[in-house]
Chains A and B, each alone.
Chain A
């Protein structure tokens, strides 16, 4: 592992903060989207990105690679859910 707990934590935080800011801007509707929420989210993203400027590109890469590997369990979990749906809806099931 080439990244520390703090750097990995920061990368994860930046990912979520950035995704939420992008979501708010992409779905912006005049008079319907809270300006306070957008402002707070952009400030939150800006601060977290400013903190992450200290991280090296290699640390960010290693964190994202580790995250991708852990997501490889998703098909296993999804297949169990799909199996449950298949058996519940099969012809002959009560």
Chain B
């Protein structure tokens, strides 16, 4: 069994993408976030233990996968996550939360969300989700929660031990112009 280096690289690229996406629009790194996300998903989905693509996308359903199920499980997870993100975005857009009420967008979004739900539960590579499969990962989830607690502890420790940062310097003329233009554009002014 090969080391899952490709899965690690793919997962790391996805984390990097989410981190960059959280940065402000002024950072060049944020513009690279979609590229990093697509690259990470590509590495995750194309990865195979034998470095071949002999197993097709649905090999888990017809029980023809190789010696480990991890690659097909990851592909399966990527598929339902993408469906959920696209469907959820359409539902939020169509429901009027972020704009006008749009029935077409709402209906299409719900169809995709239900497809994600069906794909994640019914068309699982192992057949279907059982209670045992939901209880088995409890040690892993507890480990993740412990990791999160340790992270919170490190943040609190670093904030208490380091002096607070000095106030940010005032904006220069160019930065003021950019801020003014952005505000005018969003408030209905002409902008530049």
Contacts and interface: CB of A to CB of B under 8 A. Distances in A.
A68 B141 contact: no
With a 10 A CB-CB cut-off, give which of B15, B140, B159 has the most chain A CB atoms.
Answer: B140
B144 interface: yes
B140 A63 contact: yes
Interface residues of A, number: 58
Contacts of A73: 120, 129, 134
Interface of B: 1-4, 7, 12, 15-16, 18-20, 22-23, 29, 68-70, 73-74, 76-77, 80, 84, 88, 91-92, 95-97, 101, 106, 109-110, 113-114, 116-117, 120-121, 124, 126, 129, 133-134, 136-148, 150-151, 154-155, 157-159, 161-162, 165
29 contacts: A8-B140, A11-B143, A12-B143, A14-B143, A15-B144, A17-B150, A17-B151, A22-B19, A26-B15, A26-B29, A27-B20, A36-B158, A37-B155, A40-B158, A41-B151, A41-B154, A44-B150, A57-B2, A58-B68, A60-B4, A69-B134, A70-B134, A72-B77, A72-B121, A76-B117, A79-B113, A82-B92, A86-B106, A89-B95
Interface of A: 1, 3-20, 22-23, 26-27, 31-32, 34, 36-37, 40-41, 44, 48, 57-58, 60-61, 63-76, 78-79, 82, 85-86, 89-91
